[in-house]
Amino acid sequence: MRFVPWFRLLAAAAALSTAACSNPTEMSTTDISGHRARWSAHRLTKYAYDYKVTGFLISYAGHDIHLVVLNGVVQSATDLVTGQAAPGDPASWPTIDRLFDEAMQAADDGSLRSATFDPTFDFPTELDLAGPPDASGAVFASRLVLLP
């Protein structure tokens, strides 16, 4: 099975649903930029976190994927349900910075219904994304651990 990142699926769904979407986002790009600035101030390039997507018709939906990021690039992605390597190239999985990019894009196109952020490091812990029924869902980031 070919790995397709959730944000590519969302971008296609958002393009199809933008005209039908009447609910503006509750989180503006300015709000997200403030959180991103606080995240960036920590200068974290070596960390691990658990990533999960719900909704979106993808094979790993609902699975916790443990991502290890070194020097700002995902080095490994492990499916915590199966214990196996997650599908696709590890570098195709999102860093926290890429989660911010996706939050900004979703806020811009009106598909971001809500977002929550970690109280310590200010990274997005949940992005609730609108789209057609088969392309709506949420993205979760949790259990961030700093690496030496």
pLDDT per position as a tens digit, 18-70: 323 333 335 678 899 999 999 999 999 999 999 999 887 777 888 999 999 99
Would residue 1 count as lying in a domain?
no
Q: Please, what is the average pLDDT of the chain?
A: 83
What is the rounded CA–CA span in Å between residue 44 and residue 68?
12
Q: Give all strands (DSSP E) within the chain, no chain letters.
A: 47-55, 65-70, 73-79, 112-117, 124-129, 137-146
Would residue 31 count as lying in a domain?
yes
Number of domains the chain is built from: 1
Would residue 19 count as lying in a domain?
no
> Residue 77 pairs with which residues in a beta bridge?
67
- pLDDT at residue 15 tops 70: no
What is the rounded CA–CA span in Å between residue 137 and residue 131?
8
Give me the mean pLDDT over the 92-106 stretch: 96
pLDDT given at position 48? 98
- pLDDT at residue 9 tops 70: no
Is-contact 51 140, C-beta < 8 A?
yes
- pLDDT at residue 143 tops 90: yes
pLDDT given at position 116? 96
83 pLDDT band, cuts 50/70/90, is very high
- pLDDT at residue 2 tops 60: no
Would residue 141 count as lying in a domain?
yes
95 pLDDT band, cuts 50/70/90, is very high
Q: Where are the alpha helices (DSSP H) in 3-136?
A: 6-17, 29-41, 96-109
- pTM of the full structure: 0.80
Would residue 35 count as lying in a domain?
yes
Would residue 123 count as lying in a domain?
yes
Residue, of 116 and 17, whose pLDDT is higher: 116
List the domain range (segments joined by +) for residue 81.
Answer: 6-14+24-146
- pLDDT at residue 111 tops 50: yes
